Structure formats: C-alpha cells, structure tokens
Amino acid sequence: MSAKTFVALRVDCDAQTAFDTFTNDIDLWWKQGPRNRLIGNRPGIMKFGERDGARYLQEVDKRRPDFIVEAGKVIHWEPAKRLSFEWRWPMADRNEPVTHVDIRFVQSGDATRLTLTHTGLEGLSAGHPGRNGLNDNRFKPMMTHYWQAHLVSLRNRIKLMPPQSENPKTV
C-alpha cells in the first residue's frame, strides 16, 4: 500500500478564515456519528485542547468533561498555512503506530486550496480496528473518502458563514 492518502479542495475564503474555521469551529463541521467521532456514541465536543503546554486534537464528553479522548498531538500549528497532528484511532492497541495528518492552506485569489495528506497508514496491522477488516486495496480508498467527507463538511460550514466584508470589525 502507498504510504499516504491525499485529498484537495477549494474553499471560498482566505487562508486565515479557512484555518480558523478548521480549528475553532471543528465541532460544528466535523461529521457526527460513531464512525467519525472519537468517543463513539457518547455526546462529545471536538476541539483542539491544551495539556502540558501542547495542543491535542480531542473530543470531550458533554456529560463528563473529565472524559477526554485524544486523537493525537499537534505537530505544526501555523495559522493560515499549515496544521499537522498525530492520528491514533481511539480503539486501537497502543502498540499500533501513530499516523500523521498534514493540512496545508494555500491562498489562491479569493479562495484557499486545502490539501490533506494522511501518512503512515502502511504501518497499521491487518487487524487494526481502523481498517474495518479491509485489505490494503480497499482501506486506502476508504480513508480518502473519510477525509474527503470531512473537508466537504468544512467547505459547507464556510459557505454558511457571512462573506468576510459583512463580518463586523471590532475596534
């Protein structure tokens, strides 16, 4: 299997807005349901939280704020440019390797091109729960579809936002 899956799409906003929406509004656009959320069927809030001076992609249980599931540590946090983080399936054995998700935000006129690359998938065992029993030929397309669905959801969230010229500025 190839070492990565890759998804790209364009969003109609500047790179800073795209980055801010990705990071600050993640719970509003990240797809719902046990296949997409870190804590399964429990009601949770996706966010980039902080612990011990580092950021983590995590989901916090709405009913028990002390119950937090982390997907992984943020490696790069470069507003309007790059976001990368470790990705670990919560139900995976701790001996399984961590994979990495890297998102680039590139301004292109009035829009931003987002590219998402997920690497390290080839290191996951055949029995890894994220594979859902799929062989390499089916697992990679499934992961591409997974990330594509999330980025389309992000794009839809951005479409619902008022145009930037209508956003009130505070003084």
Report how far residue 94's alpha carbon sits from residue 129's, in angstroms, rounded to the nearest whole number: 12
Give 10-residue mean pLDDT values along the chain (171 residues).
81 97 95 78 90 93 88 96 92 83 96 96 82 81 91 95 62 43
Whole-structure pTM value:
0.88
Ramachandran region of residue 66, left (φ > 0), alpha (ψ -120 to 50) or beta?
A: alpha
DSSP 38-97: TTTTS-EEEEEEEETTEEEEEEEESS-TT-EEEEEEEEEEETTTEEEEEE--TTS-TTSP
- Give me the residue spans of the domains in the chain: 4-30+74-162
pLDDT at residue 166 in the model: 53
Residue count (the chain)? 171
Give the three-class secondary structure for 159: helix
Fold of 4-30+74-162: Alpha-D-Glucose-1,6-Bisphosphate; Chain A, domain 4 (3.30.530)
What is the model's pLDDT at position 171? 43
